[in-house]
Amino acid sequence: MPSYTIYDKNKDEYFDTLCTWGELQEFLDNNPQCQKIVTAPNIVSGIQGKSFKTDGGFNEVMSKIADSHPNSPLADKVNKKDTIVQNKVRNVAKKHKLIDIGGQDLGKEYKKNKSTGLY
């Protein structure tokens, strides 16, 4: 919900309020001694780009996951320490479907073991 700064002329005071635009208009109509003050907008950043950097601990966890699953898309994205030759070999192997690049096989059926009750 947006924050608005209000100036009360009678009390010579500034105060902030959290409300919708409609509630603000209703408040200003009921209180003619008050007026809204124009302030700089608060900009919330939540996009990734050149200015956004992830934490080092998070990057370390992602690289450990990628090391555990070397043929996953995450490994391609995170691990940049392979040589050019290793990348070319991996790309050819993926092209000819010599390595699994799909992750989990969701079409595979699992049967329940009657003695243990596990799949």
Which pLDDT score, from 0 to 100, does residue 55 have? 77
Q: How far apart are CA 112 and CA 119, in angstroms?
A: 4
Q: Which helix (H) or strand (E) holds 14?
A: strand 13-18
Which pLDDT score, from 0 to 100, does residue 22 have? 92
Is the sign of the CA dihedral 66, 72, 78, 82 positive or negative? Answer: positive
Which pLDDT score, from 0 to 100, does residue 12 have? 92
37 three-state secondary structure: strand
**One pLDDT digit (tens) per residue for the chain, 119 residues:** 788 999 999 999 999 999 999 999 999 999 999 999 998 877 766 666 566 677 788 888 888 888 888 777 787 787 677 778 887 887 888 788 777 655 555 555 667 777 777 76
